[in-house]
């Protein structure tokens, strides 16, 4: 009974059971352009971890330390994410539904489309860390931080749903639209709320640099998804799509983190002077004791 149900799922293309993990691993290694896009990030994430630990060795202010820890989590999640991808654990070949340009015509076995679903899943851990670091830098309050982080997790998980949907082409785009709606919330907080908070907190200069870098790069992700094999399939090569994500990751994660941490090291006193806790900018946090 269970076996019949499972066989049914497989023929509908719902579960990527056509290839073993070893075969997926070998598929990735055989495509040197594709595997290079993953190995490069493993190497850069490793170097970033070492560099950031070194940079943060003398930081003493708790708020600056929290920014460091959140930022350090970004390459830590990244190295795990890319190791999962390169070893084939978090990659599948999914049969696209009717209406999709690659229905039955992907590069995998039986025309399955290369789906690195681990990317979308691990973004749900790494992108909140980026936002927490940015929010702390802007002196945001708890409400805005909570809203940004939860909307961001919503964006990643519904993006994952879009990538995994094989029952209906329309439904893939419905999930995509829901994910974009969450993304709009994140963009609003970054561009409007935190930009204003950072002015009050005295961190506007570095915040604005990081805000522009973040907004411009993050906009690239839904564009790559939309144009790549999982979306409209205008670009069909898994390697090119993977390089697009990997390239954006290098700037959105490692360069972003480096710029932020370098600033925190040089301006620890500014961070320390922000009121303790969240809400430093709006004055809604507890006022520091006057003793």
Binding residue for ligand RET, selected from 72, 131, 137, 155, defined by CB under 6 A? 155
Return the number of the residue (159 or 238) whose C-beta is nearest ligand RET. Answer: 159
Comparing CA positions, the residue from 86, 156, 158 lying closest to residue 127 is 156
Q: Pull the structure tokens for residue 94.
A: 């999914």
- Report the nearest approach of ligand RET to the CB of residue 228 (Å): 9
Return the number of the residue (175 or 263) whose C-beta is nearest ligand RET. Answer: 175
Q: Pull the structure tokens for residue 190.
A: 């970054």
Give the x/- contact pattern for ligand RET in 115-154, rule: CB under 6 A.
-----x--x--xx---------------------------
- Element holding 129 (H helix, E strand): helix 117-138
Spatial neighbors of 173 by CB under 8 A, at least 6 apart, are 162
- Report the nearest approach of ligand RET to the CB of residue 76 (Å): 11
Length of the chain: 291
State which of positions 185-224 bind ligand RET (CB under 6 A): 218, 221-222
Distances (CA, A) of 130 to 239, 255, 266: 26, 12, 20
Would you count residue 243 as binding ligand RET (CB under 6 A)? no
Q: Pull the structure tokens for residue 150.
A: 């939860």
Give me the half-sphere count of Cα atoms (radius 13 Å) on the Cβ side of residue 19: 25
Comparing CA positions, the residue from 116, 47, 45, 48 lying closest to residue 78 is 45
Return the number of the residue (163 or 280) whose C-beta is nearest ligand RET. Answer: 163
Binding residue for ligand RET, selected from 27, 117, 183, 263, defined by CB under 6 A? 183
Please report, as ranges, the residues that interact with ligand RET according to CB under 6 A: 120, 123, 126-127, 155, 159, 162, 176, 179-180, 183, 218, 221-222, 225, 249, 252-253
């Amino acid at each position: 009974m269970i076996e019949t149900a499972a066989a049914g799922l497989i023929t509908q293309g719902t579960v990527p059971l056509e290839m073993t993990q070893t075969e997926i691993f070998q598929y990735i290694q055989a495509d040197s352009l594709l595997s290079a896009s993953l190995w490069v990030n493993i190497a850069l994430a490793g170097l970033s971890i070492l560099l950031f630990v070194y940079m943060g060795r003398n930081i003493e202010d708790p708020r600056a330390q929290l920014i460091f820890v959140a930022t350090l989590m970004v390459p830590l999640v990244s190295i795990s994410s890319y190791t999962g991808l390169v070893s084939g654990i978090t990659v599948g070949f999914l049969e696209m539904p009717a209406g999709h340009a690659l229905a039955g015509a992907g590069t995998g076995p039986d025309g399955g489309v290369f789906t690195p679903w681990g990317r979308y899943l691990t973004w749900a851990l790494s992108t909140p860390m980026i936002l927490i670091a940015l929010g702390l830098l802007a002196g945001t309050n708890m409400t805005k931080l909570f809203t940004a982080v939860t909307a961001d997790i919503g964006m990643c998980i519904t993006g994952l749903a879009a990538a995994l949907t094989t029952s209906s082409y329309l439904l893939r785009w419905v999930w995509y639209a829901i994910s974009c709606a969450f993304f709009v919330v994140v963009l609003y907080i970054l561009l409007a709320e935190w930009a204003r908070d950072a002015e009050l907190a005295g961190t506007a200069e570095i915040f604005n640099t990081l805000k522009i870098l973040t907004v411009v790069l993050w906009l690239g992700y839904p564009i790559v998804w939309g144009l790549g094999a999982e979306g409209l399939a205008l670009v069909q090569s898994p390697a090119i799509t993977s390089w697009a994500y990997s390239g954006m990751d290098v700037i959105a994660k490692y360069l972003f983190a480096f710029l932020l941490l370098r600033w925190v090291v040089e301006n620890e006193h500014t961070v320390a002077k922000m009121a303790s806790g969240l809400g430093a900018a709006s004055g809604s946090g507890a006022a520091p004791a006057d003793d």
